[in-house]
Structure 1
Amino acid sequence: MKLALFALALTATPALADLAGSPITAETLVDQAEMVRIADSIDAAVDAKDWTLARSLFTDEITVDFTSLIGGDPATIPADVLIAGWSANLSGEKESFHLRGNHRITFDSTDEATMLSHGYAWNRMPSGALDENGGNDLWEVWGTYVHDFTRTEDGWRVEGMTFTATAERGSDYVRNTPGS
């Protein structure tokens, strides 16, 4: 199992140039700080179940890739669909906590950038602790995020988001069951 997770992490590792990101200069400092704020705000909004705030941080359409967690294929979908899916899963009794760090941003142009960061998330649901639901109220995951940013007339927004899981543990019931 550990070897398989290590192999997954290696296949998801970006090029070495992407690992360092673009140098922070006087010209890019504000843009880089804004992108970190936006990515962190997505996590905070999701944990607070503030779906209006979460939605405001994306372009109208977003390319998403959560295939390492849910299978399938990457897709370009309306951001409203992404937010509706998150809000349906993280409803009621289900709590979440997201933590992100090691932000590295690479500018592809003055109006396009990519952020690589590490992420941790947990979901807790009291009903998972019931014997018939597996007896564990917690599910957690670690991995790498890639956020694709574009500058719009309203400022920087996320137009693409990929999460590559490197490890997870806990209750499949909590992971797969929407809160009630």
Structure 2
Amino acid sequence: MKFRYWILMVVGVLSMTVNAQTLTRDEAQIRSALNSFSAMADQGAYEYLGRLFSPELTVDYTSLFGGEPQKVSRQDLMKQWAGFLPGFDTTYHELSNMQVVVNGSSVSAKVDITASHWLGDDGFWAVTGEYAFLMAKVEGHWHITSVTLKANSEDGSRDILAQAPRFAEQKLKAKEARKNSFE
């Protein structure tokens, strides 16, 4: 019994070691940035979220809303999102199945997404699909240069999308007031 336990422990440790070694420092930074992309958006941390993007980037939500891909500055993108996302009572952007391909100082990454939005007692809207990211390494940091949503399905009502901006400024100010300062 002890021998079997010892064998399982050794196999487990070796397995963890092999998995840890296959992830490079760049891949860890990239995966951290992509996971932070969704977490910071959900937390309304736009001053930090903006750091993940290149000074100018391409944003493509045409599969969901039509139109054309946009070239925007990261400041303008953060203003857009800060004028919209905080208006919901809760958002949750769940990422899964992350696939990262590093090619020197550029990256292509894909991740499955379910973006859920709640507003009021009955307001709910979610979209599922895939985000495709392009990233570039500049001065030792990986920056998102392009984000494309390939929407697959929706649930709930888009009606709440028009309502959320009315509450965004007030709710963002309330979040800011709860911010902890370390100065």
State if a TM-score over 0.5 links the two structures: yes
Q: TM-score, normalised by structure 2?
A: 0.75
How large is the Cα RMSD of the aligned pairs?
1.9
Q: Which has the higher contact order (CA 8 A, sep 6+)?
A: 1
Q: Does 1:54 align with 2:54?
A: no
Q: Any idea what SS the aligned residue of 2:86 has?
A: coil
Moved more, 74-83 or 89-98: 89-98
Residue 34 (structure 1) aligned to one of 29, 50, 57: 29
Deviations 1:15-71 (A, max 9, x none): xxxxxxxxx996862111211110110111111001101101101001110111221
SS at match of 2:132: strand
1:63 matched to 2:74? The reply is: no
Q: Counterparts of 1:28 and 1:150 in 2: how far apart (Å)?
A: 18
Cα distance between partner residues in 1 of 2:38 and 2:22 = 27
Structure 2 unaligned residues grouped into runs of 5+: 1-18, 168-183
State the number of aligned residues: 148
Change (3 A) 1:171 1:59: same
| Structure (1 or 2) with the greater helix fraction | 2
2:152 matches 1:157: no
2:119 to 118, 122, 125: 125
Q: Which has the larger radius of gyration?
A: 2
Q: How far apart are the structure 2 equivalents of 1:166 and 1:174?
A: 19
TM-aligned CA distance change 1:73 to 1:93, over 3 Å: closer
Question: Partner residue of 1:99?
Answer: 94
Q: Tell me the secondary structure at the aligned position of residue 91 of structure 1.
A: helix
What code does the residue aligned with 2:101 have?
T
1:143 matches 2:126: no
Query: Taking every aligned residue pair, what percent have the same amino acid on both sides?
Result: 24
The two structures have a TM-score, normalised by structure 1, of 0.76
Q: CA deviation at 1:178?
A: 2.2
Instruction: Choose from 75, 78, 83 the match for 2:73.
Output: 78
Partners of 1:165 and 1:92 in 2: how far apart?
A: 22
Quick check: 1:117–1:146 contact (8 Å CA) kept in 2?
Answer: yes
Residue number in structure 1 paired with 2:162: 176
SS for the counterpart of 2:55 is: strand
**CA contact 2:123–2:160 (8 Å) conserved in 1:** yes
Q: Indicate the residue corresponding to 2:172 in structure 1.
A: none
